[in-house]
Structure 1
């Protein structure tokens, strides 16, 4: 007995060892078999990381696993991924592993597909990416699959786990998604007629021509299907589906034909409780409906019958009805009553464009508010045609008190309306107003509107709107937002396009306001960046992109940054995230300002381009509070008086919508009408006072001062301008930075009398009134900053040069005085007689001698012998000698007295 047990044990051990070893021995053969199958059957690039074999996990069958399968398309979808599968496993008899092709088909008993992602795509030319099976002779001339097929299934069970499916049809503009797909089935596929028992759970989304019909709706399906493989017909026998929580039973068949699929299916909800209607609504919006109290009925019934092909769809007749229904959520205070629904989705001829939705009745009542509506939607897959009627009253606050909808902001307000509208969606998108027919009126009171495109909620106290064909008249609009109030009238051109198709809000408005704060109408865009686990947020203000309107504004007070503008009037054009100002005028700083230009917020950094006209601004106040003026002329804040200027500037705006001074460029022409200077807080004037003690800079004459300047890259260049202090003219030019750095030159034309006692003594010696008018240029070089200035002058060298100039004048004056005395003496010597025109030169010997000395005796005859020459020369010498001696004596006497 022991020997027998030992033999059995050894035998079992050998069998187990073989079961473990064989997969490794035949691994390469299995890989070759998989590759051979792929190459023989698929026209695509197929890759996988590994193929494994186990004889233990599914003993006595073999278990084959293909891991990380990727299938990539060839042209015309080259390099696009058709499918990825984390793992595909097959269970089959061990002998199937060693079958040759001549021994018959390969039989697989079970398949499991895990985490598959499959994308089926049809491009705009009609090409499909899922036609990847290779064409064979069997495709051209079908024969008995039992004897000629190289591959067949004999499946006991199969499963698709945690997978997703996508269908994209660019030609028909259809998108269909199945996610969280878990599907399993049991049956036999090898026979001609078989039965398949399936269970499916998934979430489904369906969009036709950009219209979302299903959005992540939960689908459950238990189906018992007869498979007639010979005739490609699949009959649904006992089937129950759940859409969200709405149960449906259905029956019928789908048969594959040469043109497409022949479909004949009917369905309905087995009960008629109105709770079934709430079950259609996605659970995220309807919440838990198990405890909801309902009355009335609800019925869904439909037929889908006909050919589904490239050119046709099955006929549709789907109806939803409900009468005298109500519901109440246990945790909410209000109920919805008198609900009546009569809607149908139909297609009578198989042309997809002729599918239409008829909402004949949709009525309900909340408290005492009754709301009635009806609509028809035609051509829903193309350019949808809408014809709708609305008549009723709706308290918006009651919506969240009767239905568990979650809103970002709480709704409030009373909406009253009686409106008929008819349009097509393309008309809304292209602003074809002639195809938009509106008739009726709508009013709203105490409504609060909030959006991502505005900073503060807008509280509409009252608004009355009349709908006319093509336009909407805003009869009244009384609203508040933040600290701002608005009263408006006007015309709106695209209200439905704005509400229904994300179009722009267009119109022309007359707006009045007592207080208008610019920041109340700007949107804050937050951009978050994470770096080293640190998060920082940057905000920039944006003009809403949906606005396309012209506003004639009249505001008593406008608040912008730190400014308060009074009596603001002008035109504002808003479009494409730009605001264009035209002839905007306002009272500011006891004067008036006019503005034209634009602000552009399309880019990440807002830009502006403005022309400013300023009249009679209070200089001190405006240069103290207005950052731009403060940067253009920091020293001006010490002035008392008025300012007139024109400024042209452009640049970028910072996050608070104020000019970024480092980017501002432009030019200005300024005129100062000053009356006084307050220099207590002006370090520059203190420095200048120290450099020029003969000037009181508090008493500079700045009346009618005009200057030009330009600015760019944070630097202001000032053209030369003139100011005056008593009889001193001063010319100033240079530049400074917005960082308050300075580089200026001031040239002072200083009269000599201001330059000290030594200069005044020299002036006194000259004894000439013209000398008192002598001025010298003195240059002051101003650097540093406005808060810590530096002043350098060339006053010392200027005084030295003036001294030399005065000494030279004194010398020339003395020489001139000597020459005059000589002429006087000569005149006396001549007896004071005047020359006679008829007298010849020879009759006046002294004059002849002087002419010889000076070279003026051009008529002197060299051959003529002079008369009395010696006597004349001696006489002249005596006269000159006496003159010179007398002059020296006078100078000596003068020096001695001094």
Structure 2
């Protein structure tokens, strides 16, 4: 017994090892067969990563598995991916492996996992799935495959179909399908089960969106006549059950079909079951009354030229429903609608909604519509008449809104239009009539910092236009009232049309921050929320004549704002916007555009009688253009032309700003205790009391670009000292300015005054000395250096020249006598006179400034004397030739 067991165990082990080892012998053959079949039958690029053969997994059959399959198209869809498959596995009898080339292979089962199939038809009618090779009929080497399938399945797969000729898109996701049957006999039966989510759109309109479809179908297969008959079939659209029967026959030029379907139950709860479960919620607990019926017939031939005729009706009579946890009931629901095609031509398909009525509380809503020529230039005729209390919608139906809404809408509207008229703004083909009234409409949105409330709005619809008779709204601290004309409202609502209008807008208080969005993900270092730049909608083309008592922007309060705003092509243009601010008047002309990635502006600002202190404290732009102005008190008149980029807070990006400006000051004085620059200048120039600077009627011009402001030379007066100022500063507060002080000599102390007194002429008493001050560093840490070299040289030369002239005028007789004594030799009279004059001048200057008698020596001594005086005048003495701090 033990010996028999050992023999049996050894035999089993040998058999098991053979089942493992033998597949390696045949695996290459299977690989060659698959590659040969691909090359001979498919006009595409096919790749796969691995192929395996097993005798154990499906014993006694062979199990073949191909992994990571990739099929790419050739022209005209070069390198487009047609399909990817994680793996395909199939089983066949062991004897199939021993068949000779040319003998058919019989496959018993197929399993496909995670396939992604993308089908396309381009505008020229080419299809990327037409990849079968057109082999010659007499080819003798083709390997044939015969399907004797009992089981097949497709698991967790997806399909996308796009047809550019009809602008149609179909998506199947989470697709699972399995079937059991026999395909080998001419007449057989196939039992299938399918589940998937379907999205279907045509001309950008979604008719199904992620709708759950289920189908259990028993199909008779008459393969000899290419006829498939649906016997016992039941499907679901979301949770709505549908039964159908009929047949489909394959023809040379298409498919012939006759299929009828309906929902087997007539309870109105079936209507809620059509809706996605996320919206219908627990419909089992909903109380309903009335009926709901879907019924359809599709009959005819589907080909390149025709579609089957069909008649699908949806009806409901005096129905009602109420969710158990909600306070409101929807009642008196009446639906009578149909989708039909009676000619077999796609363009003749039409939708007829004869009735769509319901009541919530005492609010009655009635509507009807027809849609014709829906595949091309759709023609719409519709009528809506009723009242909807928006707050009651969520009280009667379990809808979850991202932004809660309140308010009452009343409308009585009739409209007739075709889509081409909307897209081309052909207003005479858009026939609107009726009125819309909105009361206490309130909604909360991320687009606004506060809830937006429309207390009252009244619109009258006419052909092509809407007259806004009244509009009153409020959000945050802002209020709005408006009247005007709106054009192309239908096109704006139903397509990508532009909303055109002409409005008059009034506001008592308009705070720009109320209309700014807040980006919660963007925070500064102090975790404060940053305002996100508003984008001007591309679909707006309107003119707004605006008046506002107060407009608040950032920390600015503008009063009595008036102006015209034109919004077009993502640009807002201001035309003579006027306002009162900083105790003066402001006028702005220019534009702001958000069309590019970075918003930009181009503005011209005129200010009259601005309070300097208030304006330079309140406006960052003025602070950067002239930071020194914050130490001034008085009035400002200015005109500024500037352009540049805007940041996310709609503030100028200073490094991008360029332009020019003109400024005029009046009634202005300096607040010396508030400026480090003034303090530094007073320390370096102690002969100037900056409180007494005369800045009245000061005018200056400056230009700015690349983050710097260049100030052209301007002049100011301090008593009888004339001052010239010019230079540059940066928006980063850096400084590089020069100031030339023309200082009268009498300010230079007793030593210089004694020197001048010896000369004692009116001209000497009017001598002025230029003192240069160079201001660098920054506004918060300035450095002031004074240059004495030009002043010393100027004063020296003036004193010498004046003394020469004085001596010449007063001592003519003495000079003549001296000349007579020295005339002789070969010298001319003129040369003798010149030498005598110089000698006399040097002798006199010797008494004034030193013991040396040459002009150079005199100049040197005079320089030293002047330097000593100026050194004390300008502050502490500094060693060196040219400068004193």
TM-score with structure 2 setting the length: 0.90
Structure 1 unaligned blocks of 5 or more: 142-146, 827-845, 857-879
Report the CA distance between 1:370 and its aligned residue. 0.5
> Whole-Å Cα distance in 1 between the matches of residues 349 and 151 of structure 2?
40
1:437 paired residue number: 431
- What per-residue deviation string (whole Å, max 9, x for no partner) do you get for residues 120-172 of structure 1? 2211111112222222355999xxxxx99822111111111111122111112
Structure 2 residue aligned with 1:655: 648
Identify if the C-alpha distance between structure 1 residues 392 and 802 changes in structure 2 by more than 3 Å, giving closer, same or farther.
same
Rounded Cα–Cα distance in structure 2 between residues aligned with 1:139 and 1:367? 77
1:63-212 pair list within 5 angstroms: 63-102=63-102, 104-138=103-137, 150-212=144-206
Q: Is the 8 A contact 2:509 2:550 kept in 1?
A: yes
- Which residue in 2 is equivalent to 1:343? 337
Residues of 1 paired with 2:602 and 2:327: CA distance?
55
Shift of 1:453: 5.1
Matches within 5 A, 1:480-519: 480-519=474-513
Aligned ranges 1:564-603 → 2 under 5 Å: 564-603=557-596
Per-residue deviation at 1:454?
4.9
1:723 is displaced (CA, Å) by: 0.7
Name the CA distance, whole Å, in 2 between partners of 1:797 and 1:48. 90
Deviation at 1:606, TM superposition (A): 1.6
Look up the SS of the partner of 1:340 in the other structure: strand
Cα distance change on mapping 1:825 and 1:312 into 2, 3 Å? closer
Q: 1:768 to 1:343 in 2, by over 3 A?
A: same
C-alpha deviation, 1:481, in angstroms: 1.7
Which whole-Å CA distance do the structure 2 matches of 1:672 and 1:726 have between them? Answer: 18
CA distance in 1, matches of 2:232, 2:72: 38
3-state SS of 2:411 partner: strand
| 1:347-496 correspondence runs (5 A) | 347-450=341-444, 454-496=448-490
Matching residue within 215, 220, 235 for 1:241: 235
Superposed displacement of residue 506, structure 1:
2.0
Where does residue 9 of structure 1 map in the other structure? 9
Equivalents in 2 of 1:749, 1:166: separation in Å?
86
Are 1:721 and 2:714 matched, yes or no?
Answer: yes
Matching residue of 1:819: 812
Partner SS, residue 381 of structure 1: coil
Once residues 218 and 474 of structure 2 are traced to their aligned partners in structure 1, the CA distance between those partners, rounded to angstroms, is: 62
- The answer on whether the counterparts of 1:646 and 1:668 sit within 8 Å (CA) in structure 2 is yes
Matches of 1:349 and 1:357, distance apart in 2: 14
- Kept after mapping to 1: 8 A contact 2:101/2:143: no
Matched residue of 2:284: which SS? coil
Q: 1:412 to 1:23 in 2, by over 3 A?
A: same
Q: CA deviation at 1:541?
A: 3.3
Per the TM alignment, residue 525 of structure 1 is displaced from its structure 2 partner at its CA by 6.2
Equivalent-residue separation in structure 2 for 1:11 and 1:647 (angstroms): 103
The structural deviation recorded for 1:666 is: 0.7
Classify the secondary structure of the residue corresponding to 1:543. Answer: coil
Q: Cα offset for 1:391?
A: 0.7
1:66-111: CA deviation from partner (whole Å, max 9, x where unpaired): 1111112222112111121111111111001111145x42111111
Residue in 1 that maps onto 2:833: none
C-alpha separation in 2, matches of 1:730 and 1:26: 105
d(CA) in 1 for partners of 2:448, 2:565: 18
> Aligned partners of 2:402, 2:637: CA distance in 1, in Å?
50
Distance 1:677 1:12 in 2: 111
- Match status 1:226 vs 2:225: no
Three-state SS of the structure 1 residue aligned to 2:674 is coil
For 2:248 and 2:186, the matched residues in 1 are separated by 17
Moved more, 380-389 or 218-227: 380-389
The reply to whether residue 694 of structure 1 matches residue 693 of structure 2 is: no
Secondary structure, aligned partner of 2:534: strand
Report if aligned partners of 2:182, 2:189 keep a CA contact under 8 Å in 1: yes
Structural mapping, 1:508-657, within 5 Å: 508-524=502-518, 539-657=532-650
Distance in 2 (CA, whole Å) between partners of 1:351 and 1:537 is 57
User: For 1:789 and 1:137, how far apart are their aligned partners in 2?
Assistant: 94
Deviation at 1:426, TM superposition (A): 2.6
C-alpha displacement at 1:20, in angstroms? 1.4
> CA–CA distance in 2 between the matches of 1:149 and 1:623?
90
Structure 2 unaligned runs (5+)? 831-835, 852-885
Provide the rounded CA distance (Å) in 1 between the counterparts of 2:47 and 2:649. 56
Residue of structure 2 equivalent to 1:829: none
Provide the aligned length of Structure 1 versus Structure 2: 830
Question: Does the residue aligned with 1:412 lie in a helix, a strand or coil?
Answer: strand
8 Å contact 2:125–2:165 — kept in the other structure? yes
2:760 pairs with 1:771: no
Q: Distance in 2 between matches of 1:459 and 1:155?
A: 66
Deviates more, 1:511-520 or 1:149-158: 149-158
Separation in 1 of the partners of 2:669 and 2:389?
A: 64
Shift of the 694–14 alpha-carbon distance from structure 1 to 2, 3 Å rule, reads closer
- TM-score, normalised with respect to structure 1: 0.88
Displacement of 1:677 after TM fit? 2.2
Of 737, 741, 753, the match for 1:744:
737
The separation in 2 between residues aligned to 1:63 and 1:669, in whole angstroms, is 89
Contact 1:450 1:457 in 2 (8 A): yes
Contact 1:177 1:206 in 2 (8 A): yes
**Distance verdict in 2 for CA 1:855–1:44, change over 3 Å:** closer
Tell me: CA distance 1:770–1:14, structure 2 relative to 1, closer, same or farther (3 Å).
Answer: closer
Question: Which position in structure 1 is the counterpart of 2:698?
Answer: 705
What are the Cα deviations for residues 6-61 of structure 1, in whole angstroms up to 9, with x where unaligned? Answer: 43333222222211111122221221122222223222221111111111121111
What is the CA distance between 1:371 and its match in structure 2? Answer: 0.4
Distance 1:270 1:822, change over 3 A: closer
SS in 2 for 1:621: helix
Equivalent in the alignment of 1:19? 19
- Show the counterpart of 1:868: none
Quote the Cα distance in structure 1 between the aligned partners of 2:827 and 2:11. 159
SS of aligned partner of 2:500: strand
Q: Determine the structure 1 residue equivalent to 2:859.
A: none
Structure 2 counterpart of 1:859: none
Q: Is the 8 A contact 1:390 1:420 kept in 2?
A: yes
1:810 maps onto 2:803 in alignment:
yes
Question: 647-656 vs 386-395, which deviates more?
Answer: 647-656
Q: 1:835 aligns to what?
A: none
Measure, in 1, the Cα distance between the counterparts of 2:643 and 2:296.
66
Displacement of 1:313 in angstroms is 1.0
- Change beyond 3 A, Cα 1:584–1:528: closer
- Whether the 8 Å CA contact 2:517–2:531 is kept in 1: the answer is no
Of 244-253 and 382-391, the range deviating more from structure 2: 382-391
Structure 2 Cα separation of the partners of residues 524 and 457 of structure 1: 14
Structure 1, 506-515 or 204-213: larger mean CA deviation: 204-213
Q: How far 1:799 moved relative to its partner?
A: 4.0
Residue 187 of structure 1 and its aligned partner are, at CA, apart by 0.9
Secondary structure (helix, strand or coil) at the match of 1:334 reads coil
SS at match of 2:405: coil
1:683-703: CA deviation from partner (whole Å, max 9, x where unpaired): 222222222222211111111
Counterpart CA distance in 2 for 1:299 and 1:720 is 89
Distance 1:139 1:668, change over 3 A: farther
Q: Report the RMSD for the aligned CA atoms in angstroms.
A: 2.8
> How many angstroms apart in 1 are the aligned matches of 2:369 and 2:328?
27
Instruction: Say if 1:721 and 1:731, in contact at 8 Å, map to a contact too.
Output: yes
Contact (CA 8 Å) 2:119, 2:127: kept in 1 or not?
Answer: yes
Bigger mean CA offset, 25-34 vs 322-331:
25-34
